[in-house]
Every structure is written in structure tokens, then in C-alpha cells.
């Protein structure tokens, strides 16, 4: 029995040893050294600092800044003043060039203090640890976080040089007021670059990061100044500065010149951001993916596009636009002043027809950034302003008739559709020019009926109208009857064709997008398409000119080498339009209310013509 029991025990021991040996073998195979483990767990990819992006007008001047979500501008190491590096090392981490990411002596001292206080009070953070903390985005006061910070700092020291660590630290440290890095701080507090700062100003800024709340210059200037003087004294004690220079630096009067965020022309900048998103969608393939996706996938693609746009903004890009600031100011002032005492809204769009650019854009009366922008977000019935694009242009192009061709301006019916002229009168037989400049309705419907609805709409397909559907293919469209309608931007864009020899190319606000080094990274690649042949385009320009000279837009006339345009009024007086051009510019104006109501009481004032004339005549 004992012998049998011995065999069993021996067998069990053998099995146990075998299992232990097997597990040991596996562990040996999977063994990873501590440094290698740190390398696996701590990924030191280049940190993307949220830089400021800029919108530039046609002359290259910044008119708007985009912070997402912080204000930061990266400086190369050689651009960072030596005195700034010295003061940070001296005051934040005197053993910076000696330790391997953490200071054992300082940590021990902090542990004793914290144990005595029975809570986490002292941090004993080196410059490398502070950099690690910023990269980890972990700021809670716990021993667990502190341990992770130390390990992260240790790995940083193994991978990066002291020079790089200090440079990264100075570029990412917090300077209060949503400002990160020395260059952003210099521009925010003094409206200068770091290179333009005096030594006294540099030390003044170096005082902030130690306690950004206490040493915030905007709210606690005296505290910041006191710390600046203590830092200067510290430089003297450590033989980095002479007593004489120290006295001069302390005496220097520090005058803040807090930089206000540049945010001019909100109407235009709002549109530029929307167009930028469209540009990114097209160039990065999101648009194509959306076109071939179901609703669930579209939502995913939209989110990816949002992230892509934000990443580009954070990279510190420069968006070059066609904005003409003087014209923008004229347009905004004209709209606001003309409509100041009238309970209506309005919008303006202006384009350089030769360069296919949007040079001015007003989103509404007293517009504020990110409000509903009526220039491109409002889709309204175009009234008679659609006639040049859908009726007269197609008719002349298809039939090769001149503007002296006669047409019946009496009552018209086709089936149950019986439109009337605005006045309710019949005008007999008139020329195309007379019918056009006086905006008679029945001739327009007759002409569209003659050319064919499908043929007429084939011309609209060459433009960028977003909301035309098969339901719109009716004779009522000849007078502006659409299910959704058009935006002022779309209408003005289509009219540029008349000023560009019958060629159409979609007008853009964005000329190009460059990185901080000036390299182009994005730009539109649009090409022009022919819409009207030369005789048709000239005939249309003659019709538009006649409308201003002696037709419905006559009150907008002023001396000009060329002036042409078309008015539009919708049923029940909901909308008033004026779109027209000179030799260089195409301007569109819309007047109405966000919720359509009858505005016959202001019709006689011809507000849209006043604004149009006011802008172009200047």
C-alpha cells in the first residue's frame, strides 16, 4: 500500500515538475526586458500640436483665425532664445542635463512631504516629466499617474536628445489664456514674434507656466511682474546675468498689447469654412464615398470628414481666398443701412467673372458668425431672374433668333396652366427685347414651350444647382416655379457665364491652401464648360443691358462701360431679386424674409436695386 502510494506521489510530482518546466519554457520564450517593454507600451510618435490656421484675403492679409481648440505656433529649436532655455532649466529643473527623466532626490523629498501631509501635494516634476504629462494629457494628482509619468519621461530620455526635449517643452507648455508655446504667448500678450521680444519680456513670459492661474498677466499682472524679478535674481545668483543687466531688465516697463483674435468679415469666413470642407471632401475621396454609400455608411464618412477637416485646421494651414475687403465692407454697409428700418432680411454675393472667384458675400442684415447664411444656405423661388438661364438663353441658342424676333405677349394656356403677365394685361406681339426687359410672363412660357422643357432644363444642368429635381420639369419653371428653388450664390454663379463669353466655371472663394512653409497642399481643379455660343451670349448681354437701360432695373442704372441685369419677383411678393454684371463683376442681391410673407408694401422701394447699384457704383 505504501509502495503504491509512493508511486502515485512520485507520478504526481513528475507531472507537476513537467508542468512547471513547460510554463517556465513558455515564459522564457516570451521574456521581454524592461526597456523593451517600455518601448512597446510608450509610443513616442511626433505630437501634433494644435496650431492656429488663417484665412487670407486677396492681398494676402489675414482676416480670420481658426483656433482648434488651442492657440499654438511651433518654433524650431534655433528660433527659441537661449536665455529662455536657461531660465526654464534654472527654475524648473536644475539637474535637467544630468538626470534620465526623473530626479530621485526630488522625488524622495516630495514623498516625505506628501506622507507628512497625508495627501498628494508636491510633484517633483522634471522638465521631461512635465512634457510627458502634457503628452499623456493626464493631470490628476495620484501616485498611479505619477508612476506612469516617470516611466514615460524615462522613455522620452532614451529616445530624444536633451535639446529636443527642451524644445518640445517650450513649444507645448501652457501660458494661460488658451495659449500654448512661447511663440503663441509672444503674439498673444505682446503682439510680437518671439524674435522681437526684449529679454525682459522673455523672462516675463517665462514667469507664467509655473502657475498659469496665479501668474496670468491679464488678470494678475503684478504677480507676474514680481515673479519675473525673482527669475532675474535667480539668473544673477547662478552667474548667468550681471547685476547691471539685471537692474536694466527689472526697470524696463512691461506693456501688454494683448492680441485680439482676428475675426473680420464673418459672412465670408463662414462660407470659406464650408467651402473648405467641400474641398477636403473632394480631394480626399470622401465625396465619392458618400455618393456610393447607404445612410449608415454616409454618417460614418461624415464623421471621418469632420475629423480630417479638424486635423488640417490643427496643422496650421493658410487658406488663401479671393475676398476683396473694401468691396465686402461696401456690401455689408449697403445692406445694413438700406434695410436698417425695415423688417426684412437680405443677402449679397459678388464674383469676379473672369477669374471665377467669389470676392464678396453677405449672409444677412447684422450678420454674426455661424448664423444662418442667406447667401448660400437659403433656397428660394427665383422668380423672373431664372428667365435668362432657362428660357431666353436656350431659346436663342436653339433657334438662332435675334432679340428683335417677335413673340406673343397675350394670355396663354396649356392644359390647366394659365399664367398671366404681372400687370394682368395683354401686350400683343412684342420683340424678345421688349418681353425680356419688361419681364412679361406669357412670352417666357411660350418660348420655353417652343424650345421644349427637357431642352431648356439641359442648360441648367451645366450649372451647380443643388436642388433641381424631375418634379421641376414644368412650364411653371419658366417663371421661377420650383419645388425647392435656388440660392443666391448659385444664381449669381450662373450669371457669370454672360460676362465670360458664354463659358461657365464654378466660382470659388478659396484660391489655394498652403502649409506653414508656403507649400500648396490643396486647391480646386475646376475647368470651364461652354454654355452659350458667341452670338447667343452677346444677345443675352444685350437683353440684360436693355433691362437696366430702359426696363425693370432702370433705377439701378449708373455710368459704366457695360451694365446689365435681371430682376425677379416671386408670387405673393415673397422674394425680390436683382442679379447683374459689369465688364468685371457679377453681383446678386436678394431681399425677403426667412419665413416667406407677402412684402408688397415694400415692392415700390426697389431695395434690391438700391443695394445692387450702391455696391457696383462704388
Label residue 370 exposed, middle or buried (CB < 10 Å: 0-12, 13-18, 19+): exposed
> Is 302 a residue of the active site?
no
Measured distance CA(51)–CA(466) in Å, rounded: 35
Beta bridge partners of 318: 54, 514
Cα 361 vs. chain centroid, distance in angstroms?
Answer: 15
d(CA 384, CA 576): 10
**Nearest CA to 437 among 486, 403, 402?**
403
Q: Compute CA 254 distance to the chain's CA centroid, rounded to the nearest angstrom.
A: 35
Q: In whole angstroms, what is the distance from residue 366 CA to residue 359 CA?
A: 19
Q: Give the strand pairing for 406-408 and 429-431.
A: antiparallel
> Quick one: cell of 72?
499654438
Strand, helix or coil for residue 117: helix
Establish whether 375 is a catalytic residue: no
Catalytic pick from 384, 385, 439, 545? 384
Which residue is associated with the grid cell 487658406?
Answer: 319
Q: Which residue reads 433668333 in cell numbers?
A: 401
Look at the chain and count its residues: 618
Buried b (16+ CB within 10 A) or exposed e, 101-116: bbbeebbeebeeebee
Q: Which 3 state secondary structure label does DSSP give 431?
A: strand
Can you tell me the distance from the alpha carbon of 539 to that of 304, in angstroms, rounded to the nearest whole number? 48
The secondary structure element, H or E, covering residue 63 is strand 62-66
CB neighbours of residue 567 within 10 Å: 27
Joined together, the cell numbers standing for residue 294 give 447607404
Task: Return d(Cα 151, Cα 146) in angstroms, integer.
Answer: 9
CA distance 478 to 387: 6
CA 65 to each of CA 47, 68, 141: distance values in angstroms, whole numbers, following the listed order: 22, 10, 35
From 539, 498, 497, 563, select the one nearest 405 (Cα to Cα): 539
Angle in degrees, CA 132, 136, 138, rounded to 5 = 105
Dihedral sign (CA 368, 373, 374, 378): negative
Strands 585-592 and 575-581: antiparallel
**Alpha helices (runs of H) in 160-265, residue ranges in sequence order:** 162-172, 182-190, 199-206, 221-237, 243-251
Give the three cell numbers for residue 102: 526623473
CA distance 319 to 520: 10
Q: Which of 65, 86, 92, 278 is an active site residue? A: 92
Helix axes 325-338, 607-617, angle to 10 degrees: 150
Active site (catalytic) residues:
92, 384
Amino acid at each position: 500500500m505504501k509502495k503504491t502510494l509512493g508511486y502515485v506521489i512520485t507520478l504526481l510530482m513528475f507531472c507537476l515538475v513537467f508542468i512547471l518546466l513547460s510554463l517556465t519554457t513558455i515564459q522564457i520564450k516570451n521574456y521581454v526586458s524592461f526597456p523593451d517593454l517600455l518601448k512597446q507600451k510608450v509610443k513616442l510618435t511626433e505630437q501634433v500640436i494644435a496650431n492656429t490656421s488663417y484665412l487670407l484675403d486677396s492681398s494676402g492679409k489675414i482676416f480670420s483665425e481658426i483656433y482648434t481648440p488651442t492657440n499654438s505656433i511651433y518654433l524650431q529649436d534655433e528660433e527659441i532664445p537661449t536665455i529662455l532655455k536657461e531660465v526654464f532649466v534654472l527654475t524648473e529643473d536644475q539637474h535637467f542635463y544630468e538626470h534620465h527623466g526623473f530626479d530621485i532626490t526630488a522625488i524622495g523629498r516630495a514623498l516625505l512631504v506628501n506622507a507628512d501631509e497625508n495627501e498628494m501635494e508636491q510633484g517633483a516634476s522634471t522638465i521631461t516629466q512635465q512634457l510627458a504629462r502634457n503628452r499623456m494629457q493626464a493631470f490628476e494628482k495620484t501616485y498611479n499617474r505619477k508612476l506612469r509619468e516617470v516611466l514615460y519621461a524615462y522613455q522620452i530620455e532614451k529616445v530624444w536628445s536633451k535639446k529636443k526635449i527642451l524644445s518640445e517643452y517650450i513649444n507645448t507648455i501652457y501660458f494661460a489664456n488658451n495659449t500654448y508655446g512661447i511663440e503663441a504667448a509672444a503674439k498673444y500678450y505682446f503682439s510680437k514674434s518671439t524674435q522681437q521680444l526684449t529679454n525682459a519680456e522673455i523672462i516675463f513670459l517665462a514667469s507664467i507656466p509655473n502657475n498659469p492661474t496665479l501668474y496670468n498677466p491679464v488678470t494678475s499682472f503684478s504677480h507676474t511682474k514680481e515673479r519675473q524679478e525673482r527669475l532675474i535674481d535667480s539668473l544673477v545668483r547662478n552667474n548667468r546675468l550681471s547685476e547691471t543687466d539685471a537692474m536694466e531688465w527689472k526697470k524696463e516697463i512691461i506693456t501688454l498689447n494683448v492680441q485680439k483674435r482676428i475675426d473680420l468679415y464673418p459672412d465670408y469666413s463662414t462660407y470659406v469654412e464650408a467651402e473648405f470642407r467641400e474641398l477636403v471632401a473632394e480631394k480626399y475621396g470622401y465625396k465619392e464615398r458618400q455618393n456610393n454609400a447607404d445612410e449608415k455608411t454616409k454618417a460614418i464618412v461624415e464623421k471621418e470628414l469632420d475629423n480630417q477637416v479638424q486635423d488640417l485646421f490643427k496643422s496650421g494651414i493658410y487658406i488663401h481666398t479671393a475676398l476683396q475687403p473694401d468691396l465686402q465692407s461696401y456690401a455689408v454697409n449697403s445692406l445694413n443701412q438700406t434695410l436698417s428700418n425695415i423688417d426684412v432680411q437680405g443677402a449679397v454675393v459678388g464674383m469676379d467673372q473672369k477669374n471665377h472667384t467669389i470676392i464678396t458675400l453677405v449672409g444677412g442684415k447684422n450678420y454674426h458668425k455661424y448664423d444662418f447664411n442667406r447667401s448660400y444656405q437659403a433656397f428660394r423661388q427665383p422668380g423672373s431672374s431664372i428667365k435668362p438661364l432657362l428660357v431666353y438663353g436656350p431659346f436663342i441658342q436653339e433657334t438662332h433668333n435675334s432679340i428683335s424676333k417677335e413673340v406673343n405677349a397675350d394670355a396663354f394656356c396649356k392644359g390647366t396652366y394659365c399664367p398671366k403677365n404681372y400687370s394682368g394685361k395683354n401686350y400683343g406681339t412684342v420683340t424678345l427685347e421688349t418681353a425680356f426687359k419688361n419681364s412679361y410672363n406669357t412670352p417666357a412660357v411660350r418660348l420655353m414651350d417652343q424650345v421644349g422643357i427637357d431642352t431648356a432644363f439641359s442648360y441648367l444642368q451645366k450649372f451647380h444647382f443643388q436642388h433641381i429635381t424631375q418634379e421641376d420639369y414644368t412650364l411653371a419653371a419658366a417663371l421661377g416655379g420650383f419645388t425647392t428653388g435656388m440660392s443666391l450664390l448659385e444664381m449669381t454663379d450662373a450669371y457669370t457665364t454672360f460676362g465670360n463669353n458664354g463659358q461657365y466655371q464654378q466660382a470659388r472663394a478659396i484660391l489655394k491652401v498652403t502649409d506653414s512653409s508656403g507649400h500648396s497642399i490643396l486647391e480646386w481643379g475646376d475647368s470651364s464648360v461652354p454654355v452659350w455660343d458667341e452670338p447667343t451670349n452677346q444677345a443675352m448681354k444685350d437683353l440684360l443691358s436693355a433691362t437696366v437701360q430702359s426696363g425693370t432695373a432702370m433705377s439701378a442704372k449708373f455710368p459704366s462701360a457695360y451694365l446689365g441685369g435681371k430682376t425677379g419677383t416671386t408670387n405673393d411678393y415673397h422674394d425680390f431679386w436683382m442679379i447683374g454684371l459689369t465688364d468685371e463683376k457679377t453681383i446678386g442681391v436678394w431681399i425677403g424674409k426667412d419665413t416667406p410673407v407677402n412684402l408688397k408694401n415694400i415692392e415700390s422701394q426697389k431695395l434690391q436695386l438700391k443695394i445692387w447699384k450702391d455696391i457696383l457704383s462704388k
